A and B are shown apart, each in its own frame.
Chain A
Amino acid sequence: MAEQEKEKIAHEISEDDIIECIELNKWFGDFHVLKDINMNVKEREVVVVIGPSGSGKSTLIRCMNRLEEHQEGQIIIDGIELSNDIGNISAIRREIGMVFQQFNLFPHLTVLQNVTLAQRYVRRRSRAEAEEKALGLLERVGIPDQAGKYPGQLSGGQQQRVAIARALAMDPKIMLFDEPTSALDPEMIKEVLDVMKELARSGMTMVVVTHEMGFAREVADRVIFMDSGRVVEIGTPEHFFEAPSHERTKLFLSQIL
């Protein structure tokens, strides 16, 4: 019976949960950033992480592709546990795309080179194949005519869309968005969100840290609310925005809405 149950759990994890965080703890020096985080993301699910500044949202998703190291607990991505094993880390990073608040495009490369670089050196695609893929993706994010320019010549919104295309070019199973619109002018936020919505509709598994409540309400399958390093509440957008249970959540929502 117990065997069966275990098997069932394992089965469930491998079937549904593409990201699984179990009792995750992280410290920056003595500072306890993430406290006993338990969460999961299912395949093709869009999870939005919200919370006040300093609540550990960014740290959490940065742990998911090992940009930050966790000290306790487990992170299991697509059946592989993140550990110090370099092979595991690079295998996981190949499957996870990430988009940063500050875009982090490579300023010394053109847009096209930005999108083809990792394809060629990580996925080992030929130049022609990589460029074809890159041009397709630039088309998809709506900036096909900027391929020859350098990032410095683009607007913030265009840069962020290039960053999305760059991450997508690796054919990731999961996309992580770390406050993708926070550094953008209000006029440009929409063009980035549109791309993200389109991506969500296409069935991409996404974990999004954002302050865009409209986006969360419209696109998210589930919302995770974090405060001071712990998960306060997890729920569907309807539950979350209309009938939050926890006092902290209510306070937070009352301040931003």
Chain B
Amino acid sequence: MAQKSSQEMYVAPVEEPRSRRPPISEVGLIKWLRDNLFGSWVDVILTVVTLVGAGFILYGMLDWILFQAQWEVVFLNQATLNTGNQFPKSEIWRIELVAFLVVFLSLLSVGVWGRIARGFAITLAIIGAIMVIVPWATTPVEEPVIYMYTEAGYLNRQVNFVADEGQEITFTIDPLTDASDYQISNISGYIENDNQQNNTSFDAFNNRTASVVTFLDVEPSEYDLNMAIEIWDADGALIQSSDYTQGTTEITVFTWEAPADGWFTYAIINNAEASGENGAAFVTIDNLEVFRSTSQGRELRLDKYGPQPELDCSGCATSLNRSDLRFQGKRTLAQWFSLQLAPYLLESRGFFFIAAIVGIIAYFIGQVAVKNSFNIVNDDLLDKTARFMLFVSGIAFVGYILIQISSWFIQQGDFEALQFFTLVAFVISLGIYAIIQFMKDDPKASSRAVTILWMLSIPIILSVVTGFESSAVPVSESLPAIPTGDLGGLFLTLLLSAVAIIASFPIGMALALGRQSDLPVVSLLSTLLIEVFRGVPLITLLFMGRLILPFFGFGLGDVDLVIRIIVVLTLFISAYLAEVIRGGLQVVPKGQIEAAYALGLNGFSTTTLIILPQALRAVIPAIMGQAVSLFKDTSLVYIVSLFEILGTMNQLLGDSQTGYIAFPREGYLYVGIVFFVFSYVMADISRRIERTGSGAIRRDTI
């Protein structure tokens, strides 16, 4: 029945109209695109400009990452970057053990708490597939050749290198007859470049402006190089030499086969009698290994080939790991896969797969626990055991603290064994308690047990990594002490930030509540602490931790530097955290406190049960922001001579022996990626926590 558009009276029919789907242009991708990207002309222009800009940047980045960058500095130094330069290489298994422990606990937590399992599994599976497929499908490609620039009458070049028996090395003297010979677009390989940081000499080649290219004006017919290659053994005795070039522009090729494993030297020489005067050439060297990892690689090299021969000339290269050999030109994609990606994947593959298996097992244990499939609901004996174990762990903990305190006062005598045994008793008893709780028929008990296990992991990790000095400790042989000053790399970064973030949480809360306290002394003291630690730059605080604290006496100078720095970082972030949490406290409505009081809750219960949970939930993003910020700030500890991942990378790049000095871009980009990945994971976890519990409904209701 058609209805008039204007009606004075209307009564709706009894039956409600049926719900329909919205028009197709109002849902899904089309709607999204129209709303978000092409809403108006301004939007269209912005979208197009942004996409084009992003495309250009991305293209440039990828072009460099795939075809020009030299990633050896990253993938040959994984052990160093993860554990630091000073960490004994024979003890790296300890760090790996710690990593597996952390992976186990993480995935156990994921199993118990659920939620992120799917995305996580997909990511892991993709990485795993890449790790298997890429090295398998990649066809091996030879290293690009090495180019050394030489001129007639120029200083002789002598370079040490290692070769295995039967290795064939081809030297080619290729006269540079016209400008295109110099150009990067025509040559691709490790090119000697005396200016290590920039492309200046190559730009000069390309542009033909600088003095180095004046030789180009020589007529090719007048070329008079008179150049030859000599190979010496480790004692400096001549093994073999090529013929001299005979004043021509022709290419001279010289192939040499190594008679045995060992060090050799090649020298580019001029004919002493008929010294060449005209022309320039690239000496290209094929099938020479350019890179070896740093200290570890050097040790391996020393083992296999013995010490490097001394060279008796100034300005000559001591080895082929010359700092000025730098990859220039462009790779093919095949070369990138074979020489850059595949070796990296092969290097880290074993670790990844063990970690993946550990993680999968942990995840399923967590899932089983949370679905109550262990089926030990009301076992009286187990309950009693659990309580007994909790009791034992309490005693052990108190004992440990007492021993620790008395060791400070008594100064002498060997307390380490005693400490070790109480610690073991503590870890084992609390561990058993946690496991029993974990298997209970209650997801919350499992969840609490996981928290306990995480807490237990801290003493375990520290003991495993730093080891034991005293021979009275039974495991001191397999876990010899490693001074904390030798810790470094990514491990130190994570250690510093994890401990500081966890420890700063209760301190920050205490300071925030203290600042709001009614007692003027408490509030004044909290305010003072907060303002002092917020008002001083972190670098200054770190210097104080290292240099000034020892002058305060109380044995502060004897306290381990790493611990002092952790304390400084903790106090620093606590001050910021306190202000963030105070902001949260002010968001909690007064009515909440009144309701709690009206129910008879006392001040302490009201604070811990009502105010803090709401205040903290309100400021989760800000708290996580502080955590991320501290994580990045740990890189500042290099100024107190601790070397976390950035410091370690700096050491690697700065060491003239390693040959990585020319690759800062690759090194720093890698460090940046590592920092980003961890920060992103932290931010993601924070977003997920926001969406749990009562936060899950906040989005729907507001």
A and B found bound together: yes
Query: A residues bordering B, Cβ < 8 Å?
Result: 65, 67, 90, 93-94, 96-98, 100, 102, 104-109, 117-118, 121-122, 150, 152-153, 163, 166-167, 170
Q: Is the CB of B599 within 8 A of A65?
A: no
Residues of B close to A108: CB separation below 8 A: 613-614, 617, 693-694
Q: Is the CB of B591 within 8 A of A104?
A: yes
CA distance A122 to B602 in the complex (A): 8
Residues of B close to A100: CB separation below 8 A: 591, 594-595, 598
Given contacts A104-B591, A108-B693, contact A67 B599 (CB under 8 A): no
CA distance A170 to B601 in the complex (A): 11
Given contacts A102-B591, A104-B591, A108-B613, contact A118 B599 (CB under 8 A): yes
What secondary structure prevails in chain B residues at the interface with A? Answer: helix
CA distance A224 to B597 in the complex (A): 26
Q: Is the CB of A122 within 8 A of B617?
A: no
The chain B residue with its CB closest to the CB of A169 is: B599
Given contacts A107-B614, A108-B613, A152-B701, contact A118 B600 (CB under 8 A): yes
B609 contacts A by Cβ under 8 Å: yes
Q: Is the CB of A153 within 8 A of B597?
A: no
How many residues from B make CB contacts under 8 Å with A? 24
Q: Is the CB of B601 within 8 A of A122?
A: yes
The chain A residue with its CB closest to the CB of B602 is: A90
CA distance A167 to B595 in the complex (A): 9
Residues of A close to B592: CB separation below 8 A: 104, 106
B698 contacts A by Cβ under 8 Å: yes
Most chain B Cβ neighbours within 10 Å, of A117, A121, A152: A121
CB < 8 Å neighbour of B610 from A90, A98, A106? A106
B275 contacts A by Cβ under 8 Å: no
Give the contacts of B667-685 with A (CB-CB under 8 A): none
CB < 8 Å neighbour of A153 from B596, B601, B701? B701
B517 contacts A by Cβ under 8 Å: no
CB < 8 Å neighbour of B600 from A102, A105, A109, A170? A170
Residues of A close to B617: CB separation below 8 A: 108
B605 contacts A by Cβ under 8 Å: yes
Q: Is the CB of B697 within 8 A of A152?
A: yes
Q: How far is the CB of B437 from chain A (nearest CB, A)?
A: 16
CA distance A104 to B590 in the complex (A): 9
Residues of A close to B698: CB separation below 8 A: 152
Q: Is the CB of A67 within 8 A of B594?
A: yes
Q: Which A-B residue pairs are the 8 nearest by beta carbons?
A: A104-B595, A118-B599, A98-B598, A104-B591, A122-B600, A94-B600, A152-B701, A93-B600
CB < 8 Å neighbour of A67 from B597, B613, B697, B700? B597
Q: How far is the CB of B612 from chain A (nearest CB, A)?
A: 10
Q: Is the CB of B614 within 8 A of A121?
A: no
Residues of B close to A166: CB separation below 8 A: 599
Residues of B close to A117: CB separation below 8 A: 599, 601, 609
Q: Is the CB of B609 within 8 A of A152?
A: no
The chain B residue with its CB closest to the CB of A101 is: B591
Q: Is the CB of A121 within 8 A of B609?
A: yes
Given contacts A106-B610, A152-B697, contact A65 B598 (CB under 8 A): yes
Q: Is the CB of A96 within 8 A of B610?
A: no
Q: How many residue pairs between the two chains, A and B, have CB atoms under 8 Å in the bound complex?
A: 71
The chain B residue with its CB closest to the CB of A99 is: B598
Q: Is the CB of A106 within 8 A of B595?
A: yes
Most chain A Cβ neighbours within 10 Å, of B599, B693, B697: B599
CB < 8 Å neighbour of A90 from B594, B600, B694? B600
CB < 8 Å neighbour of A121 from B601, B613, B693, B700? B601
Residues of A close to B596: CB separation below 8 A: 106, 118
CA distance A122 to B610 in the complex (A): 14
Q: Is the CB of A118 within 8 A of B601?
A: yes
Q: How far is the CB of B169 from chain A (nearest CB, A)?
A: 72
CA distance A40 to B672 in the complex (A): 73
Residues of B close to A102: CB separation below 8 A: 591
Q: How far is the CB of A247 from chain B (nearest CB, A)?
A: 35
Residues of B close to A109: CB separation below 8 A: 694
Q: Is the CB of B697 within 8 A of A153?
A: yes
Q: How far is the CB of A178 from chain B (nearest CB, A)?
A: 10
CA distance A86 to B663 in the complex (A): 70
Residues of A close to B597: CB separation below 8 A: 65, 67, 93
Give the contacts of B151-180 with A (CB-CB under 8 A): none
Residues of A close to B614: CB separation below 8 A: 106-108
Q: Is the CB of B600 within 8 A of A107?
A: no
The chain B residue with its CB closest to the CB of A176 is: B598
Q: Is the CB of B591 within 8 A of A170?
A: no
List 21 A-B pairs, Cβ < 8 Å.
A65-B598, A67-B594, A94-B600, A104-B589, A104-B592, A106-B596, A107-B614, A107-B694, A108-B613, A117-B599, A117-B601, A117-B609, A118-B601, A121-B605, A121-B609, A122-B599, A122-B600, A122-B605, A150-B693, A153-B700, A163-B595
CA distance A106 to B595 in the complex (A): 9
CA distance A102 to B591 in the complex (A): 8
Q: How far is the CB of B16 from chain A (nearest CB, A)?
A: 19
CA distance A236 to B592 in the complex (A): 35
Q: How far is the CB of A219 from chain B (nearest CB, A)?
A: 22
Q: How far is the CB of B545 from chain A (nearest CB, A)?
A: 38
Residues of A close to B694: CB separation below 8 A: 107-109, 150, 152
Q: How far is the CB of B143 from chain A (nearest CB, A)?
A: 61
CA distance A160 to B610 in the complex (A): 18
CA distance A121 to B598 in the complex (A): 13
Q: How far is the CB of A235 from chain B (nearest CB, A)?
A: 29
Residues of A close to B700: CB separation below 8 A: 153
CA distance A102 to B594 in the complex (A): 11
CA distance A204 to B665 in the complex (A): 78
CA distance A117 to B614 in the complex (A): 15
Q: Is the CB of A96 within 8 A of B598?
A: yes
Residues of A close to B599: CB separation below 8 A: 93, 97, 117-118, 122, 166-167, 170
The chain B residue with its CB closest to the CB of A106 is: B610
Q: How far is the CB of B589 from chain A (nearest CB, A)?
A: 8
CA distance A170 to B698 in the complex (A): 29
Q: How far is the CB of A2 from chain B (nearest CB, A)?
A: 39
Extra contacts, 12 of them, besides A121-B609, A122-B605 (Cβ < 8 A), are A90-B600, A93-B597, A93-B600, A104-B589, A104-B595, A105-B595, A117-B601, A118-B596, A118-B599, A121-B605, A167-B599, A170-B599
CA distance A145 to B591 in the complex (A): 26
CA distance A93 to B597 in the complex (A): 7
CA distance A47 to B396 in the complex (A): 60
Give the contacts of B573-604 with A (CB-CB under 8 A): 589, 591-592, 594-602
Give the contacts of B604-641 with A (CB-CB under 8 A): 605, 609-610, 613-614, 617
Q: How far is the CB of A208 from chain B (nearest CB, A)?
A: 15
The chain B residue with its CB closest to the CB of A96 is: B598
CA distance A121 to B602 in the complex (A): 9
Most chain B Cβ neighbours within 10 Å, of A65, A67, A107: A107
CA distance A100 to B592 in the complex (A): 10
Q: Is the CB of A104 within 8 A of B600?
A: no
Q: Is the CB of B594 within 8 A of A104?
A: yes
Q: Is the CB of A150 within 8 A of B697?
A: yes
CA distance A139 to B1 in the complex (A): 48
CA distance A181 to B415 in the complex (A): 68
CA distance A208 to B601 in the complex (A): 23
Q: How far is the CB of B339 from chain A (nearest CB, A)?
A: 55
Residues of B close to A97: CB separation below 8 A: 598-599
Residues of A close to B697: CB separation below 8 A: 150, 152-153
Q: Is the CB of B598 within 8 A of A93?
A: yes
Q: How far is the CB of B605 from chain A (nearest CB, A)?
A: 5
CA distance A167 to B596 in the complex (A): 10
Q: How far is the CB of A245 from chain B (nearest CB, A)?
A: 34
The chain A residue with its CB closest to the CB of B608 is: A121
